Amino acid sequence: MAATMEENRLVKCPVCTSSVEEQKLGMLGLTKEELSILKIHIKKETFGKILQLSDILMKKITPDKLLKETESKLLFAKLEKCAENIDAKLGGTAIGKIGETITVKELKSAFPQDDFSDENANKGDTDIVATVVEGRIEKTKIAISCKYVEKWNSSFILQLQKNMKQEKTDYGLLVTKSFPSNALNDRVHYIEKEKIMMVKPEFLAVAYGGYRREVLAWDATQHYIKNHQQNEKKFSKRLEIITKWLNDRTNPILKCIETCQKISSEKEIKNRNLVKYIEKFENDLNKLEEETMIQVELIGSAMNDLNQVLKNEENLKC
C-alpha cells in the first residue's frame, strides 16, 4: 500500500504548474530542468523554432555523439541561441525582405506573362518593379512597395511616389498590412490623385489583376483620346468600380452570416411581439377579473336589496 502511494505521489508540473503523478511525469523522459526550459520557450513562442532546428541538426548528428552528455548540452545551448537570433532578425528589416519575396512569388505565379524584379530593393530603391507584358510587348511598369508592418505611416505613400519617379511610371501599388484611418475600406483602397492602389497582402493577386487591366486600358486610350482630364476621370471611375467590387462581401460565408443575422433579427422581433401580446392578454385578463368582481358585488348588493324588500312586504301583511 505504501509503495502504491509512493508511486502515485503528486508533484507540480514545471510546464503547466498543474498537479500530476510523478511517475507519469517521468515517463516523458525529460528532467525537471529540461521541462523548465521547455516552459520558457513556450512562453517566448520559440518552441516551434526549437523543434525545427532540432530536427535539422539531429539529422546531421551520428548516434554515438548523442551518447555524450557534454555534446548534447552544447548542442541545445546553440539551438537556444540560434532561436533567439532568429527572433531578433525577424523583428528587424528581415521581415520586409521576406514580404518582398512572398509578393514576387505570388505575382509570378498568378501572372507569369509579366516580369517582377526585386533586384534594386537592397539598394534602397523600389521594392518590386512589375513590367506589364501584353502579346510579348512591354506596355508599362508598376512600382510596388511592400510594408509588412502592423502600424500605418504616411511615409509609405511618399516613398512609393519617390519610387514611381525613379521608375518613370505613373502607376504604384502599395502592399501593406495596415491602412490609414481615413481609408474607406479595409481590403483595397484607391488614392485617386496619386493613382496608387493600396491592398492587403491576402488580396494582392486579384487587386493586381484589376489594376493591371485598367493600366493597360489607360495606356491604350492615351493613343486615341486627346482630352487628358476626361481620360483620367474614366480611369479613376473604373478603378473605383474595381475597388468596390473587391470590397463587396458576397462570399458564401458572409452571406450565411447575414442570413443568420436576419433570421435572428426576425426572431427577436417576433419574440418582442409575443411578449407584447402576452402582456396585453394579461392586462385584459386582469381588467376582466376586476369587472367581474364589480359585477359580483353589484349582484350581491341587489340580492340584499331584494331580500329587504321581501321582508318589508311580509311585515306589512302581518
pLDDT of residue 160: 95
The neighbouring-strand residues paired with 198 are 174, 189
Note whether residue 81 is domain-resident. no
Domain range spanning residue 311?
251-318
Q: Which segments in the chain show pLDDT lower than 50? A: 1-7, 67, 92
Same domain, 100 and 240: yes
Same domain, 107 and 227: yes
For the chain, how many structural domains are there in total?
Answer: 3
Q: Among 228, 246, 264, identify where a domain stops.
A: 246
pLDDT of residue 1: 45
For 225-248, write each residue's pLDDT tens digit.
666 667 788 888 888 887 776 677
Give the 3-state secondary structure of residue 301: helix
Q: Are strands 188-191 and 137-147 parallel, antiparallel or unpaired?
A: unpaired
Give the 3-state secondary structure of residue 12: strand
Q: Among 199, 214, 246, identify where a domain stops.
A: 246
CB contact at 8 A, 15 and 39: yes
Tell which residue, 72, 122, 127, 76, has the closest CA to residue 99: 127
Note whether residue 71 is domain-resident. no
pLDDT of residue 5: 46
80 vs 50, 63, 270, CA distance in Å?
A: 7, 21, 61
Note whether residue 285 is domain-resident. yes
Note whether residue 84 is domain-resident. no
Same domain, 167 and 98: yes
DSSP letter, residue 129: E
For 184-194, write each residue's pLDDT tens digit.
888 899 988 88
Note whether residue 85 is domain-resident. no
The total of other beta-carbon atoms located within 10 Å of residue 111's CB is 17
Same domain, 8 and 121: no
Same domain, 232 and 285: no
The widest CA-to-CA distance across the chain, in whole angstroms, is 136
pLDDT of residue 112: 94
Same domain, 148 and 206: yes
Same domain, 222 and 162: yes
The answer to whether the predicted template modeling score (pTM) of the entire model surpasses 0.75 is: no
Note whether residue 142 is domain-resident. yes
DSSP letter, residue 151: S
